[in-house]
Every structure is written in C-alpha cells, then in structure tokens.
Amino acid sequence: MSFLERTRGYAKAILSNYRLEPADAIIIFSHSGINALPVEIAMECSKRGMKTIGVTSVAHSKANTPDPQIGKRLFEVVDIPIDTCAPEGDAIIESEDGRRFASVSTIASLVIMNTIVAQTAEILIGQGHDPVTYPDHNVTKDVARMIEEEEHLFEMYTRLQSRLLK
C-alpha cells in the first residue's frame, strides 16, 4: 500500500467519494509527512475550507525530502500540526550491527488520537452535548443497556455516513 501514499493525484479521487464541507475537520496521520497522498489530502481539504490537523514526526519530515512536485511536508500545510516526537526513521533501538527497530510512531499516534477523543468529549459534555460512545462489551451488569447504546451508535454512524458519502 505504500506506493499509493506516494501516488500524486490520488487524494482527489479519494475525496470525491465524500460530501465534505467547511464545517468538517480532518485528522491526517503520516509518520513521514513527506508523501503525496497525506499532503494532497490536507491541501485539498484546506481548499474546501475545512480545518486540517496533521499528526506526524517533524524530525523525520525535516530530515527527508518531500515529494518534489508538491514541495511541502504535512506539518507545513495543515492548520494544526501535532508532532509525535518520533525520531527520524521511527526506530528507537539500534543493534550492535547498526540495524534499527522498535518503532514508536504508531504508539505515539494512538496516544495522540485518544487524547483528542477524550478532550473533545470533555468539551462537548461541558457545552451540554451528549457524545455517543462505543459501549464496553466486557461489562456484565446491564447487557440490555449495552446493546441499546451500541444500536444507538450504529444509527448515528449510519446518519453520518449518509451525510458524508456521495
């Protein structure tokens, strides 16, 4: 799949499947932040007036050359860049023979995404909204309520999809 990330022009094809509006926001994850697809997605969403957020390794991006025809890195084109602080190359362990392994970008990105979700939920609750959350399936006290909450979530998701998908 990595060849798709480097393919210019693919972003418009992907986004053509959605009805995105200026009120929408997008979070784009790309460790390197230098490939065509994530950068073009951010640029195209910006053209549509959307708020763009990029989660990337600034150190890796700065240490590597972006797609030459685009000339920009993800952190340079989004409204809100979030640095994973993952090192260039992503690996944090180096063996005696110089090979590197143990990437951290995925873990850092998951922590960042869950932090965004938690902060957003707190803001929404503080403003009097009731955010829909996926219920825990490992709670045995009130299974009927869990099923009801899950069905409500699926209904909300279906409505969202119908608004977004062309």
Structure tokens at 92: 């944090």
- Cα–Cα distance between 4 and 28 in angstroms, integer? 15
| Cβ neighbours of 152 (radius 10 Å) | 13
The torsion angles phi and psi of 135, rounded to 5 degrees, stand at -75, 155
pLDDT in tens, 89-135: 999 999 999 999 999 999 999 999 999 999 999 999 999 998 988 88
CATH superfamily of the 2-131 domain: Glucose-6-phosphate isomerase like protein; domain 1 (3.40.50.10490)
Integer Cα distance of 29 and 61 in angstroms: 13
pLDDT at 1 over 70: no
How would residue 140 be classed by pLDDT, with cut points 50, 70 and 90? Answer: confident
Helix (H, G, I), strand (E, B) or coil at 46: helix
- For the CA atoms of 139, 110, 44, 6, the dihedral, rounded to the nearest 10 degrees, stands at -120
